[in-house]
Chains A and B, each alone.
Chain A
Amino acid sequence: MTARAGEAGTGGVLRIELRRSGAYLLGGLLAVLGAVLVVTSQAPLDPYGLWSSSWAAAMRVLSETSIVLGPLAAAGAAWTAGREGRRHLGELLATTPRPVLARQQTTWAAIALGVVAGTLGVAGVLVAGIAPGLSYSGGRWPLALLLAVLGVLACSAVGFAAGRLIRGRLVAPGVGVLLYVLNGYLGYLTGPSARLSPLALVSQLPSQEGYELDGWSAAGAAIWLLAVTATAVLLAGSRRLAALVPALLAAVSAAALVTTPATGDSPLWLQPDEQALEQVCTDDAPQVCVQRVHAGLLQDVTPPARELLARVQDFLPVDRIAEVPYGQQAPPGTLAMADLQGRSRFLRPGMDHPGQVVDDTVSRLTSYMCEGPELDAAGQQPYLTLDVAHALLTGELLLSSADPTAVEALITRLEEDPAAARAWMARFLPAAADCDVATLVDLARP
């Protein structure tokens, strides 16, 4: 018996701990639940679910999913760590020559392996989801993956320490809910206090298409998460003094994270990924261009985009159509196409409703974000012109038209006289963009 125990060594003890700590179960549970979260965010379970076949989008989903994975890992780790207390083994184990830290480290290592495997399992589902439509592999997505894994790991370490240090049946669910609330609270902060959001253990630096993680912010977050993990594990191993070192490191990295100065319009931790935003265009004319990160959708979006371009050319001096991020101006001669983010298909290449891009592009052209007493006094007239413009640009009448009869009458008149239609559109577009209510009311006359 002694010889067998001796032969087991560290690897053997770890294998036993993997079975007895519930690490297999915890890892499997995290992987399955994460996969469920990914699948339920897609049609048909969520008809309004959006999917982008890009690394940035996949890592964002993983980051959001870890909002649940982290607390569950914490609850599972707390339950395992509390087993000695539940069985009243403290005094018995205190008589053994093995240090507390060594014993707890082995259990923690088993839990950590389960947690990392489970999180990587979810990442695997996401990779399978984006692979068929993936067109760009740049950006610092491995950093985002690393932070997601470290975040769930840190949660499990905090849960492990809580389960080891606090007695009680409800410590495990308590620490799970507490972390869920705390992470959610930090994520929802706005204004100056939003600077604290990177201190959440999970989903603290969400990715975004067209951007990549700032290297320093990611490094700071990784150090913060590792320091929290080390502090928790040392505390669980009854090494309070030694835990001060990583605790100090955690405090320093936290201070650095929350005092990082903002740069530009993007969040503190993101910077534009120029390569992802490069234009990829059709070889033949009229040219249709999309961002490199959406190049997988170019084939699907080209026919409706060209159809729209042909109609718009009757009114505007444009000879190409290109994807332009919302809020940015298109270059001269280019029609700005709506953003293609969130229009890919899960597990399949291409997109489901290319025509929707046309509607969104026209909506951008005719967008009318105005308010004020002048608009209130004008009644439905300004909105009538939006319907007319939409019909002229797409050939389709909106079902929600305020006054279909008046709209149809105006459309018929303008279609019979192309020169008048061009003049009407030339006045409409700047008036809609500038909230020129008087001009819009004038344009609504039959």
Chain B
Amino acid sequence: MTRTTPAPDSRGGRGLWLYLRARHVGWVAMALLLLTAASWWATGWLSTRTYFGGAWARPPVVGLSPLLAAVLVSATLVGADTDLDRTAPRITAQWRAVHATTAALIPTVLLALVATDTPQTFGSYALMRNSLGLTGIVLLTATIIPTVLAWAPALTYVLVAYLAAPRTPTAAAQWWAWPIQPGGPDPSWIVATSLLAAGLAAYTRYGPARTTS
């Protein structure tokens, strides 16, 4: 008996590289950078429109950019075949926890750089809150419905909340229309962080739902 040479795939960072490639992380990272640049341009453009009030004109970016970031992140949550992934001994709760946490933090940090002036008025604070909360929704739904459809509840919710949220803030809207709040310390943060916590816990514990579509 001679000792067999370890397979190339099991050495060092090779496994990590394959894991990232199977989940399109490279493409998603590039798309996130593009999204950040586009969001930065859009906040500037909206803030200079004469019919809006400067920073108060930024809700479209605050609503849609974190949504797109969460949609992009959803593409990384599952490989080509969930059943095959589940047969691999390496896919553990720890891997998923690190993946989900990183997926929540990177877009949040990038989007925080988009609107740093008056950050409390539909600026960096709201972008961070929405990125965390919407990633939480995507993580949570990825464990319940086929992961390739994990974007659907977040997309539906944001589009509806954006149009339905009262233009004059109300206490109730800070709970049910939390992504469309300016970003100050109000209950919208409780909802967003709760969704993130639930999403992280569910994805870490159960992993992506089996793909049927």
Q: Which of B184-199 contact A (CB under 8 A)?
A: none
Size of interface on B: residues with Cβ below 8 Å to A:
29
Q: Cα distance A75–B67 when bound, in Å? A: 14
Q: A29-B156, A75-B155, A170-B75 are in contact. Are A40 and B67 (CB under 8 A)?
A: no
Of residues A40, A48, A172, A190, which shows the largest number of chain B Cβ atoms within 10 Å of its Cβ? A40
Q: Cα distance A29–B156 when bound, in Å? A: 10
**Closest Cβ–Cβ distance, residue B198 to chain A (whole Å):** 21
Are A68 and B151 neighbours in the complex by a CB distance under 8 Å?
A: no
Contacts of A83 in B (CB 8 A): 213
Which chain B residue lies CB-closest to A82? B213
**Closest Cβ–Cβ distance, residue A162 to chain B (whole Å):** 15
Question: Is B109 positioned at the interface, with any CB of A under 8 Å from its CB?
Answer: no
Q: Contact check: which of A33, A48, A170 meets B160 at CB < 8 Å?
A: A33
Per-residue B-contact encoding for A56-68, CB less than 8 Å = 1, 0 else: 0000000011011
Q: A169-B148, A184-B60 are in contact. Are A37 and B163 (CB under 8 A)?
A: yes
Q: Which of A179-203 contact B (CB under 8 A)?
A: 180-181, 184, 188, 190
Contacts of A220 in B (CB 8 A): none
**Closest Cβ–Cβ distance, residue A50 to chain B (whole Å):** 11
Q: Cα distance A45–B169 when bound, in Å? A: 11
Of residues A41, A180, A181, which shows the largest number of chain B Cβ atoms within 10 Å of its Cβ? A180
Are B155 and A177 neighbours in the complex by a CB distance under 8 Å?
A: yes
Q: Which of A189-229 contact B (CB under 8 A)?
A: 190
Q: How many A-B residue pairs have CB under 8 A?
A: 72
Q: Which of B161-181 contact A (CB under 8 A)?
A: 162-164, 166-168, 170, 172-173
Are A181 and B51 neighbours in the complex by a CB distance under 8 Å?
A: no
Which chain B residue lies CB-closest to A29? B156
Are B75 and A169 neighbours in the complex by a CB distance under 8 Å?
A: yes
Q: Cα distance A364–B157 when bound, in Å? A: 40
Are A68 and B213 neighbours in the complex by a CB distance under 8 Å?
A: no
Contacts of A172 in B (CB 8 A): 151
Are B159 and A86 neighbours in the complex by a CB distance under 8 Å?
A: no
Q: A46-B170, A49-B166, A177-B67 are in contact. Are A68 and B159 (CB under 8 A)?
A: yes
Q: A47-B166, A180-B159, A181-B64 are in contact. Are A173 and B51 (CB under 8 A)?
A: no
Q: A45-B172, A169-B148, A170-B71 are in contact. Are A68 and B160 (CB under 8 A)?
A: yes
**Which 5 residue pairs are nearest across A and B when measured between Cβ atoms?**
A40-B164, A46-B166, A173-B151, A173-B71, A68-B159
On A, residues with C-beta under 8 Å from B are: 29, 33, 36-37, 40-41, 45-49, 64-65, 67-68, 71-72, 75, 79, 83, 86, 169-170, 172-174, 176-177, 180-181, 184, 188, 190
Residue pairs across A and B with Cβ atoms less than 8 A apart, 10 shown, are: A33-B156, A45-B173, A64-B163, A68-B163, A173-B68, A173-B151, A173-B155, A184-B60, A188-B49, A188-B51
